[in-house]
Amino acid sequence: FSPGKNKPFPLKMDDHPLNQRPIACCGLTCCDFITLCKGFPLEDSDQRCIDMYWQRGGNASNTSTVLALLGARTECLCTIANTREKEFLKEDFAKYAVNIENCVYLDDCTAPVSNCIINVQNGSRTILHSNKSLPEFSYKDFQKIDLKKQKYQWVHFEGRPNVPDISSMLQAIDSHNKAHPDEKIITSVELEKTRMEIVPLLDKADYVFVSKEHAQIHGYQCKEDTVEGLGTKIRDSSVIICAWGESGACAKPKHGPIVASPIFPPEGGVVDTLGAGDSFNAGVIFALSRGKMLQEAVSFGCLVAGKKCGFRGFEGLK
C-alpha cells in the first residue's frame, strides 16, 4: 500500500460517483481556532506563533470532510447554532461538497469551539473544547429523514453524550434494514471520548471504532487487548476496530481473527495530527464501502491518517 505520485490513493472507483449511495456522519460540528506553534507554549509567556486560523472541526464533521475528499458522496448530520460562526461552517461544508441538507439550525445557543494548539515539532495537538449550550442532533431530527429516499449506504455515528437518542437512531436503521433487506444501510459508531456513558453503544452497530483514549478508561494498554476484550461485547456479526496513535490500528470480527496495520509515516515528517483519528475512521469506512476486505480497510485507514499528519488540515488529501 503506498499512494501513487499523482493519483492520491490506490483505491479506484468501482462506480461513477453520482451512482454511489451516500455515506452520512452524525455528530459534532464545531469551529477549531488553531494556533500553530514552534514548540508547546510556556504558561504566562508572551510569544509569536507561526500561524492562527479557523478550521471546521468536530469528529463527524472531519470524518465527512475526509470521506468527501476520498471521493464518497457524503452528508453530515449535525446541529449548527444560528450565530456568526454559521456562515463559515456552511461555506466550508460547501467547499468540500459535504451535503448538509438535513442539518438543524438552532437559536438561543452558543456555537461550540475548540482552541487547538498544534506543535509543529511533533505535530501534537492539544484541544481545549467548549460546548456550553448546543443541543445534539436528536432522534426527533433523525425521524424527519426519509431513509428510503436518502438511500444511504452507510451511517456513521459519533458517540456523543445523547446515547439514548443515538441508540434510537441505530434501532430505526435496524428496522429499515429488516423491512428493506435489499437496501441495507451499514452502520458504525465511534467510542472516542473518555465517558463510560457511551459504552452501551458497543452492541448497536455493524462496525465499532474504539479510540486509544476510550480503551484506556477500561484499563487496556494496547490495541490488540482492546479488540479482544471489548470485542466480546459487540454483536455477533459486528467488527471492532481500534486505532492506537503511532502503534497503528487493528480490527477483529467478533468471531474472527485480528487484522492489524502499522502506521504510514508522512514523507516530510509529522506536522499536524488534529483529526488523525477522524481521518482513520473515514479511510476504513471508505474502503469497506467500496468492498475492500477488513485487512485492506484498516491499512487504508492508517494510510489516509498518516498522509493527513503530514500537512495542515485535510485539503492535501484531495
Interface residues with ligand ADP (CB under 6 A) are 211-212, 243-246, 248-249, 263, 265, 270, 273, 276-277, 280, 302, 305-306, 309
For ligand ADP, which is the closer residue by CB, 142 or 286? Answer: 286
Residue 244 interacting partner from ligand ADP, ligand FRU, none (CB closer than 5 to 8 Å by kind): ligand ADP
For ligand ADP, which is the closer residue by CB, 103 or 201? Answer: 201
Residue 215 interacting partner from ligand FRU, ligand ADP, none (CB closer than 5 to 8 Å by kind): none
Task: Name the grid cell of 138.
Answer: 436528536
Dump strand ranges (E) for the chain.
23-26, 30-37, 51-57, 74-77, 79-81, 98-99, 104-106, 113-119, 124-130, 154-158, 186-191, 207-211, 239-243, 249-253, 259-261
Residue 26 interacting partner from ligand FRU, ligand ADP, none (CB closer than 5 to 8 Å by kind): none
**DSSP type of residue 96:** T
Task: Name the grid cell of 4.
Answer: 501513487
Instruction: Please give the angle made by the CA atoms of 10, 15 and 20, to the nearest 5 degrees.
Output: 110
For ligand FRU, which is the closer residue by CB, 33 or 183? Answer: 33
Residue 212 interacting partner from ligand ADP, ligand FRU, none (CB closer than 5 to 8 Å by kind): ligand ADP
Among 11, 23, 25, 30, binds ligand FRU (CB under 6 A): 30
Instruction: Establish if 278 lies at the interface with ligand FRU (CB under 6 A).
Output: yes
Report the residue closest to ligand ADP, judged by CB.
277
- Between the CA of residue 96 and those of 63, 148, 168, 183, what are the distances in Å? 12, 25, 29, 27
For ligand FRU, which is the closer residue by CB, 74 or 238? Answer: 74
Task: Name the grid cell of 90.
Answer: 456552511
From the list 227, 223, 244, the residue with the least C-alpha distance to 302 is: 244
Report yes or no: 151 and 177 within 8 Å, Cβ to Cβ. no
Residue 58 interacting partner from ligand FRU, ligand ADP, none (CB closer than 5 to 8 Å by kind): ligand FRU
Q: In whole angstroms, what is the distance from residue 45 CA to residue 175 CA?
A: 56
Query: Candidates 8-16, 58-66, 70-78, 295-303 — which segment interacts with ligand FRU by CB under 6 A?
Result: 58-66
Instruction: Establish if 293 lies at the interface with ligand FRU (CB under 6 A).
Output: no
CB of 128 to ligand FRU, least distance (A): 9
From the list 238, 189, 253, 245, the residue with the least C-alpha distance to 213 is: 245
From the list 259, 214, 253, the residue with the least C-alpha distance to 231 is: 253
Binding mask 246-275 for ligand FRU (x = CB under 6 A): ----------------------------xx
105 Rama sector, left if φ>0, alpha if ψ -120 to 50, beta otherwise: beta
Footprint of ligand FRU (CB under 6 A): 30, 32, 57-59, 62, 114, 127, 129, 274-275, 277-278
